[in-house]
Amino acid sequence: MSAWHPYRCMRAMFDNEGEKELACTFGYDDGSSANPPEADNFRILMQVSIDRVYSHCSLLNNTEKIQDELKREKGMCMDAFGAGINARPPQVPGVSSIGDSEWYRCIAQREAVTEKEKQRARRRCHYHRKNEDSFQYVTRLMGAYGYWFKDLGLARDDSSEIRVVIQNQLFEILDTYAKKYEEINAAMYSDVSGTPSQPTTEVTKNRGDKTLILTLGKPAITFLDYSPPKNILSLLFGRESSLSWSHSQSGWFRLNWNLLQIGGLETLHTRIKSVTFTHAIGFEWQPPWINTAVVQSSLIGRVGYQLSTRGNFTDATCDDRMNDSANRCSLPLLQSLMSVSFLSRIRLELGINWFLPLSAVKLPNHQLNTVFTAAVGFQFLN
C-alpha cells in the first residue's frame, strides 16, 4: 500500500479535498492488489474518528464561545454542529454502514443535562440506560465496523466480541501473575539443593495472598468494561444449597448447569427426614443495559429432575396419604430464577420451582406444585 494513499483518503474525508471514492481506494504500488488487507482497518479507524467527532460536536450548545471556536476551526466539528444530533456522519468508502442508533456514544437519561443531551439519551442505543465511556465507545464501534484484531487472535467475523476477548486475556494475565507470585515466594525459602523448606505459616500466607489477588483482581478488571466472563461457578446457601456453573463463549446468553442442589437438610433432626437432590440444565441471559461492573443481573430458566430420599428416590413420596408439599417429592421440575451479583463476587438468587407430576401421581392434598426459593453465596469468575 502506497504511503500516500492513507494521506489522500484523510484529506478527502476530513477536508473535502478530492474525490472520496477514488482517494480511499487503496492498492500496492505495483498494482498487485486493489484492496490490501491493511486498508480495511485503516478506513475503519477513520470512520471511528469521524463518528466520534460527530457524536461530540453535534451535542455542543449554541453559545458565543462555541461559535467562535467553530469558526476558527472550520472543519468537520462545525459541520456536525450545524447538522444537528440526528444527522449521520459521512461514510468512508469501503466501510460497511451500521445502524442509526449505533454510531453515537450512549448517554444515560439521568446524566443528560442540556436539551441536546436529553434528546440523545431518549434514543435507544447499545447500552441504553447508562453512560458509555470512551473505551467502551471506541471498541464497540471498531467491532461493529469489522476491525480485524489479528494480534489478539480474533477472526474478522468475531471482531464484535473484542471486549470479551480483552477481559478474558486480562483474566489469564492475572491468573499467571498469581501463580508466579506463589512460586517466587516459595523459591525464597528453598535451601541450597532447591528443596522447598518454606514454613507452614508462610505457605498458608502465600496461598491466602494468591486467593486475595484473584478475589479482588478479577472484579476490578470488570470495571474497565463489564463483559460476561467465560465461566462462572457459584456456591449458594439457603433452604436449598446449590453448586452451579454457567458458560458463554461470547455474548450475553449462557449455558447454565445446576450441578447439584441439595434441599431438606433442615429435616435431618426431625422424625420425618426428607433430603432432596436436584440436577438441572438450561439457559441464562444477562441483559446488557442493566449490567455494570458493580451490579450484574441475569434471568435463568432450567429443566431437571429432583430425587427425594422419601420413597427411595421414587415418586411414591407423592400421594394423597402424605400431608407434605411438592418439594419433598421425586419429580421432574422447571426452574425460573433471577440472580443479582455484587462486584462479581456476592450472588443472590430468587426463584420458583414448578414441579411436573407424572400422570400416575397426585400431589398431596391437591397442593399447587410451586415452591419459592432464595439463596445467597459466592461466585467465582474464569
Per domain, the residue ranges of the chain are: 4-147, 163-221, 231-381
Strand 331-342 to 346-355 pairing: antiparallel
Q: Taking residues 142-147, what's their average pLDDT?
A: 89
In angstroms and rounded to an integer, the radius of gyration of the C-alpha atoms of the chain is 29
Distance CA 346, CA 235 (A): 10
Give buried/exposed letters for 131-153 (b at 16+ CB in 10 A, else e): ebeeebbbbbbbbbbbbbbeeee
Report DSSP state, residue 190. Answer: B
- The grid coordinates listed for 370 are 410451586
- The grid coordinates listed for 93 are 468508502
Locate the DSSP E strands across the chain.
231-238, 240-247, 253-263, 276-285, 295-308, 331-342, 346-355, 370-381
- The grid coordinates listed for 244 are 452451579
Dmax over CA atoms of the chain, in Å, equals 90
Crossing angle for the helix pair 162-187 and 200-221, to the nearest 10 degrees: 170
Distance CA 47, CA 146 (A): 11
Q: How confident is the prediction for the chain on average, in pLDDT?
A: 77
Between 322 and 373, the higher pLDDT residue: 373
Residue range 4-30, pLDDT digits in tens: 788 888 888 888 888 888 888 876 555
The amino acid present at 146, given as its one-letter code, is: G
pTM of the predicted model as reported, rounded to 2 decimal places: 0.62
* Residue 109: alpha-carbon gap to chain centroid: 22
Q: Are 166 and 151 in contact (CB under 8 A)?
A: no
Second-level CATH architecture of 231-381 = Beta Barrel (2.40)
Distance CA 153, CA 138 (A): 19
Residue range 64-90, pLDDT digits in tens: 666 666 666 567 888 888 777 778 899
Least confident of 98-107, 240-249, 259-268: 259-268
What pLDDT, on a 0 to 100 scale, did the predictor assign at position 28? 57
Residue range 324-363, pLDDT digits in tens: 555 667 888 899 999 999 888 899 999 998 887 665 555 5
Residue range 253-312, pLDDT digits in tens: 899 999 888 876 555 555 556 788 899 999 999 887 778 778 889 999 999 998 887 766
Distance CA 148, CA 65 (A): 40
- The grid coordinates listed for 214 are 484473584
Q: Could you give the 3-state DSSP secondary structure of residue 297?
A: strand
Q: Are 36 and 28 in contact (CB under 8 A)?
A: yes
Crossing angle for the helix pair 37-57 and 4-15, to the nearest 10 degrees: 20
Distance CA 285, CA 253 (A): 5
- The grid coordinates listed for 179 are 501463580
- The grid coordinates listed for 194 are 532447591
Strand 231-238 to 240-247 pairing: antiparallel
Distance CA 265, CA 258 (A): 18
